[in-house]
Amino acid sequence: MTAGILVCTEISDGRATTMTKELMQAGQKLAGRINRPLGALVIGKNIREAAGEIVSLGADTVYLVDAPAFRDSSPDVYTAIVARACREITPLVILFGQTDIGRDVAPSLAAQLGAAVTMDCVGVDIDPQTGSLVQTRPVYGGNATAIWTSGGPGPFIVAMRPRSLPAAEPDRNRTGELVTLNIADYESAHRIELVETRTEQIRGIKLEDAKTIVSGGGGIGGPEGFKILEELAQVLGGAVAATRVPCDEGWVSSSIEVGQTGSIVTPDLYIAVGISGAVQHMIGCANSKRIVAINRDPDAHIFQEADLGIVGDYRKVVPALTEAIKKIQK
């Protein structure tokens, strides 16, 4: 049993996540380069239907593992399952998303398999001349791009940043093989006890899926100010994010924090409102296609990072912007 490239999928509500579709696109390209099959690993309960979608997205073989979904499980259990699967499948390249799961599992899987791992990549390819894996990732807060090459027998583990690649388009006429892996005894890897699960109600679009993000910082001053940002996000069909300050202050949920300790986002448009532009924040948004900054301090560092800047109090600027966009949309 072997797959040249193995995508570790993430399934949400029975469907492939956007990140998984992007990984399938990357996987197809790599598999084509080395003329080897593209495999996809699907772990969880009631996953057969999702397997059909994964085939339509380009998998030659879908490996199914009937096990607890990640959210009901622990990173240790999940890593143990993926490690066992990889030992059977022997892929050259294992692709993860730079998501909560990918961040947890990819490095510990690398340790278990004795494999190389490169996190947070925005590009991945195989050099046709040397056969080396070429990985691209932003460094120094997005101010430079590093290119790593990995050679040798592998396996190589790569975690891809969300929205750095186009998503694979489904082709319902594609056919693929379904292989059930019987992986038992993974429970012994269990070191963490899940005490409680709290499902957060996400209103509107998820951060990783948003093409437009309106992000607020310490300058917003309180939870009321975020309502002004929500109105702008709504007319633009986007999502609201924040720097660490509003999250620490409890004005917004910490799940929308962007930056070094939050999410890394790559929308088409990132509107930074009342944000100073600290490096720990910019790490999370510097690869946005366009950054627009709104800040009352003309010397704020964010203006050096932005494509367009508006100097002014956000309480005046943002509602005016929202109204102007509404007029254009009429």
**Which lies closer to ligand FAD via its Cβ, residue 180 or residue 254?**
254
**Which lies closer to ligand FAD via its Cβ, residue 130 or residue 254?**
254
**Which lies closer to ligand FAD via its Cβ, residue 9 or residue 287?**
287
**Which lies closer to ligand FAD via its Cβ, residue 99 or residue 150?**
99
Neighbours of 154 (CB within 10 A): 17
CB of 141 to ligand FAD, least distance (A): 11
**Which lies closer to ligand FAD via its Cβ, residue 268 or residue 297?**
297
At residue 188, φ and ψ (nearest 5 deg) are: -65, -20
Residue 148: name the closest of 119, 171, 112 by CA.
119
What whole-number distance in Å separates Cα of residue 67 and Cα of residue 49? 15
CB of 263 to ligand FAD, least distance (A): 8
**Which lies closer to ligand FAD via its Cβ, residue 63 or residue 251?**
251
User: Is the bond leading into 223 cis (omega within 30 degrees of zero)?
Assistant: no
**Which lies closer to ligand FAD via its Cβ, residue 10 or residue 305?**
305
What whole-number distance in Å separates Cα of residue 265 and Cα of residue 211? 10
CB of 74 to ligand FAD, least distance (A): 24
Contact residues toward ligand FAD (CB under 6 A) are 217-219, 243-245, 257, 259-262, 274-276, 278, 280-281, 284, 294-297, 300, 313-315
User: Residue 199 pairs with which residues in a beta bridge?
Assistant: none
Exposure string of 155-176, with b = 16+ CB inside 10 Å and e = fewer, is bbbbbbbbbbbebbebeeeeeb
CB of 247 to ligand FAD, least distance (A): 8
CB of 246 to ligand FAD, least distance (A): 7
CB of 262 to ligand FAD, least distance (A): 4
CA distances from 158 to 7, 203, 218 (A): 10, 31, 34
CB of 8 to ligand FAD, least distance (A): 25
Long-range pairs for 257-264: beta carbons < 8 A, 24 or more residues apart: 258/207, 258/213, 258/215, 258/284, 258/285, 259/283, 259/284, 259/285, 260/284, 263/207, 263/208, 264/98, 264/120, 264/161, 264/162
Q: Give 74's DSSP letter.
A: -
